Amino acid sequence: MRTQPHRRRRLTSWVALTTALALVLVACDADGPLVDVGDEDDTDTAAEDPAEAPEPEVEGPEGEPLKIGLVAALSGGAALFGVAAQNAAQLAVDELNEAGGVLGRPVEFVARDSQARPEEGVSQARDLILSEEIDMLLGPVSSGVALAITELAHEHEIPFIVHTSNTEALTNEEWHPYFASVVPNTGMEARAQGVDLAESGYTQWATISPDYEFGQRQTGTFVETITELNPDVEILQQQWPELGESDLDPFITSILGSGADAVYSPLFAGDLITFTRQAHDLGFFDRVYWTALYETDALQELGDEVDLEGVRAYSRCPFTIDTAQMADFVDRYMDRYDLVPSDWACMAYDAVMLWAQVVEAAGSADGQAFADNVAGFEFTSLRGETYIRDVDHQAAIGSYISELTWSDEFGMYIYPTAVPVPAEDIWLSEEEVLQARN
């Protein structure tokens, strides 16, 4: 009765259909939000949600307020990087107001959720520009969203500063004069690593990277750079686990079997944490030289679980950078949010401060005035004195590479001597940038 012929076959086809649908779902998900690296910002401060807290009544600056907008992933997998940026930008804005505002006018901060989706990001950014009439737009977490809204900023002549998303397309083919970047782009990061490791003595390399735009681009540039600088370098194996893969064992054992003596990886966040745990249990760190993108969040999460002493890691903006500005910032940030600022927080703070300094220097918050003044602008960042290059408005900020060491003070591994590979050594030349635009 119930078990009529074909019932089972139909069931099977339903299952097959479901699986196919699920696959499509996952495929879209993996390609969609081009999260550029970021990470869970070990924080529960999302609950404090500064954007929704009532604006503190600031006495001092008067007149029509200037508005800063942020469109970033405040929910979903990349939320914690977005929230870190939101926290830091809010702190920066409050500090500007305490110091008398910008051009003597108070500064307001509005944050919107892009859900890491380009369409949503564009629609939120458009609303910020048209309804909120913002004077500056802070960049999102994901490069996909950044590429979608940079065009909008161009159209409306709104200063757009990126601090987390860093695809090289932003400074190359999609560049416009209202754009600026305080984060080294993917090309710079990967070239810095290639330059740093070309003469390390290791020649038999393997790579393991997240299988999507960011991982592919960064790994491609690294391989290109290191093999060009040192012809002895051979790439023995390249592994591409899916984003969010929970079982990396087969990848790890496969690399161990490849005979590689060194391994490069742009895995990040949860994937890097999973990798580190599983690799440790397979004796990986005793057998190969290993370098990866250990940013503050991942290090915080890992604590002392795995011995990372001496691992040569790279990061965009470690909180241990030795400048007076950074030391002050870390104190203030920890006071307010009760955790060390992640790379994403530091860079968002720098983005707000760059804008404020340019506006003060220009004497106007007008978009055109920003574009005219930001080119070649010299400013004080948390990472020290730096400048904005004329050709692509890229801050001359290098990539930080050093050997991790344990810190009792912070209860995590830190970058003890955060010295960057200088931007001038790793960015594309002005000619190359111009060429890429044609």
Partner 1 sequence: MTLDMLVLQLLTGLSRAAVLFIVAAGLSLVFGALRIVNVAHGSFYMLGAFLAVTVAAFVGGPIGFVAAIIAVPLLVALIGAIVERVALRSLYDKEHLLQLLATFALLLVFHDLVRGIWGERPHRLTAPDLLRGPVDLFGIIFPRYNLFLIGAAIVLAVGLWALMTRTGFGRDIRAAVSDPEMLGMVGVNVPRLFTLVFALGAGLGALGGILASPRSTVLLGMDVEMIIQAFAVVIIGGLGSLVGTAVGALLVGITFAFGVLFVPQAAMAMVFLVMVAVLVFRPYGLFGIPER
| Contacting residues toward partner 1, per CB under 8 A | 1-3, 5-12, 14-16, 18-19, 22-23, 25-26, 29, 40, 42-44, 46, 75-77, 79-80, 237-240, 242, 244-247, 249-251, 253-254, 256-257, 269-270, 273-274, 277-278, 280-283, 301
Instruction: Write out the two tokens for 235.
Output: 């790439």
Task: Please report how close the Cβ of residue 43 comes to partner 1 at its closest, in angstroms.
Answer: 8
Burial of residue 332 (CB within 10 Å: 0-12, 13-18, 19+) is: middle
Task: Please report how close the Cβ of residue 339 comes to partner 1 at its closest, in angstroms.
Answer: 12
Task: Please report how close the Cβ of residue 254 comes to partner 1 at its closest, in angstroms.
Answer: 5
3 contact partners, CB below 8 Å, separation of at least 6: none
Task: Please report how close the Cβ of residue 32 comes to partner 1 at its closest, in angstroms.
Answer: 13
Instruction: Write out the two tokens for 272.
Output: 């890097």
Q: Cα–Cα distances in Å, from 278 out to 100, 211, 275, 305?
A: 51, 19, 5, 11
Task: Please report how close the Cβ of residue 92 comes to partner 1 at its closest, in angstroms.
Answer: 23
Q: Cα(71)–Cα(115) distance, rounded to whole angstroms?
A: 9
Task: Please report how close the Cβ of residue 74 comes to partner 1 at its closest, in angstroms.
Answer: 9
Inter-residue contact 416 to 403 (CB < 8 Å): yes
User: CB 29: neighbour CB atoms within 10 A?
Assistant: 16
Inter-residue contact 72 to 111 (CB < 8 Å): yes
Task: Please report how close the Cβ of residue 240 comes to partner 1 at its closest, in angstroms.
Answer: 6
Inter-residue contact 351 to 162 (CB < 8 Å): yes
Q: Cα(318)–Cα(400) distance, rounded to whole angstroms?
A: 8
Q: Cα(299)–Cα(411) distance, rounded to whole angstroms?
A: 9
Among 105, 173, 162, residue whose Cα is nearest residue 136: 162
Task: Please report how close the Cβ of residue 273 comes to partner 1 at its closest, in angstroms.
Answer: 6
To 5 degrees, how large is the angle CA 376–CA 379–CA 381?
130
Q: Cα(106)–Cα(93) distance, rounded to whole angstroms?
A: 9
Helix/strand/coil for 292: strand
Task: Please report how close the Cβ of residue 77 comes to partner 1 at its closest, in angstroms.
Answer: 6
End-to-end CA distance of the chain: 69
Q: Cα(398)–Cα(410) distance, rounded to whole angstroms?
A: 25
